[in-house]
Every structure is written in structure tokens, then in C-alpha cells.
Amino acid sequence: MKKIFLSILMLATSVTAMQAESFLTNVKSFIKPWRVDVRLGYGIGGSAPIGMPESIRELNRFSLTPNLLLGLDAHREINDRWGFMTGIHFENKGMSIDATVKNYHMEITRGGQTLAGQFTGRVVTDITAWMFTLPIQATFNVSNKVQLKLGPYFSYLTNRTFDGYAYNGYLRVGNPTGEKVELGAVEGERGDYDFSEHMRRFQWGVDVGADWHINNRLGAFADLSWGLSGIHQSDFHTVEQTLFPIYGTIGISYRIR
């Protein structure tokens, strides 16, 4: 009986060892094909409505802000052509504009008083958003050097700012025929606003781009991200139009695995 028990134990141990070895082999075969790249990029773009509304008459100034991206991406090939990529990016998306508007719905603060209505004049808006972004992309190898990619992204904002001021114009309180309040150009005469707390913490959209492998380690990339969720919460209506973040990013990559 003892010999039978020892034989069964040895057989079970042998099978377990074989299964463990097979599992490790499978894990290694899954992990080994992954390519890991570090990315550093610079983005240009802004948050805008789809189609310019009639209330926005002219864009007087658009200032570039330093939109940076630092990312770590992992790529795995399915076959010679197709693969998939994911990773984690830390980035910011911002802009600063000065626009001329007419009958543009606004809510401002001046002298401790909050006023809402239709504004005609000039509006300065500053937007800054720092975020962690998770891209999930399908990839297609055009050649040994060039790879296309497309897929959704999901962002969580760690810091967000949406503020500015209205100036050199007038506000009709309540409606287009309401009380007329003149707004000047200097602090104290203009109308300030801050809608930062109404920006979404979670945003999502689509990212399309291309990678160029210069050599076995160094590469370059160009991406276009198009937000689909809008930057403000769905119950926020002070800004009439839904603003979508649209940014192009170029940069370099370095393969670490």
C-alpha cells in the first residue's frame, strides 16, 4: 500500500512539474513578443465645438501652450501585419484664445456680483488639463519601418482649469433685451469667470497615428486625438456649445525592450 501511495505521489508530482513548466513556457512566449517604448511628444490643438457657431464672430488670438506627453507603451504583434498596443501616458492639453462674440451666453463675476446673460464683445479663455491617458489601439504594419495605429483612449484628469474674462463689450442680463451692463478692459471693469469645477474628470475619444522606426531603438511618431465626450459635464450649460479636445502630437520614441 505504501509503495502504491508513493508511486501515485511521484506521478502527481511529475505531472504538476510538467504543468508548471508548460505554464511558464506559455507565459514566456506571451511576454517575450511584447515591445516596450518610451515616448516623448509635443502637442498642438485646442478645445472647440464641431462647426463654428454664429455667436463666435472672430478669433483674434490663439496662443500655443506647452502641451507635453510622456508615455510608456507596450506593443504585441499578432502576425506579420496586425498587432495591438496599450500603455499609460501622462500629458496635458491646453490653449489660450481671445475671440470676438455676439449674443454669446455668459455667466460672469464683477465686483462680487454674479451676472448671467447674452454678451457682445471680446472673451479670453484659458484651458489647462493634466491627465493620465490609457490608449488601446490596433496596429497595422505598412512596412518594416512604418506602423499605423487606431483605437480609443480614456483619460483621467488630475488637474483642470477653465477660466477667463469678458471685456470691451456689454452684457444683456437675463436675455437679449435685458439690462445692459458695460464691461471694460481692465481688472475691476471686466467680467471674470471660472468654470474649472464643471470640467469632466473622465474623458474619452479616438486616437489615430503612425510610428516610424528609424532603427532598432529610435523612432518617431505623429498622433491625432479627437475627444468625443466633451470637456464639460453633461449638466453644465453655461457654455452653450459642447467643446471637444482635438490635438495633434509629434515626438520621438525609444525602445527599451
> 179 and 92 in one domain?
yes
Number of domains in the chain: 2
pTM for the whole structure: 0.83
Provide the greatest CA pair distance for the chain. Answer: 102
- Identify the pLDDT of residue 180: 92
Flag whether pLDDT at 179 surpasses 60: yes
- Identify the pLDDT of residue 118: 93
> 249 and 158 in one domain?
yes
Rounded mean pLDDT of 112-119? 90
pLDDT per position as a tens digit, 144-161: 999 999 999 999 999 999
Rounded mean pLDDT of 31-48? 88
Q: Provide DSSP, the chain.
A: -HHHHHHHHHHHHHHHHHHHHHHHHHHHHHHTT-EEEEEEEEEEEEEE-SS--TTEEEEEEEE---EEEEEEEEEEESSSSEEEEEEEEEEEEEEEEEEEEEEEEEEEEETTEEEEEEEEEEEEEEEEEEEEEEEEEEEEESSSSEEEEEEEEEEEEEEEEEEEEEEEEEEEESSTTS-EEEE-SSTTTSEEEE-GGGB-SEEEEEEEEEEEE-SSSEEEEEEEEEESS-SB-TT--SS-SPPEEEEEEEEEEEE--
Assign 126 a pLDDT band (cuts: 50, 70, 90).
very high
Q: In this prediction, what percent of the chain has a pLDDT beyond 70?
A: 88
> 3 and 98 in one domain?
no
Rounded mean pLDDT of 110-138? 94
> 19 and 137 in one domain?
no
> 191 and 163 in one domain?
yes
> 236 and 192 in one domain?
yes
Domain coverage including residue 245: 35-255
> 124 and 112 in one domain?
yes
Read off the CATH number of the domain in which 144 is found: 2.40.160.20
**Across the chain, what does the average pLDDT equal?**
88
Flag whether pLDDT at 249 surpasses 80: yes
> 74 and 24 in one domain?
no
Residue position matching grid coordinates 474674462? 165
pLDDT per position as a tens digit, 57-88: 998 998 878 899 999 999 999 998 999 999 99
> 228 and 101 in one domain?
yes
> 67 and 16 in one domain?
no
> 145 and 132 in one domain?
yes
Flag whether pLDDT at 142 surpasses 70: yes
> 112 and 22 in one domain?
no
- Identify the pLDDT of residue 41: 97
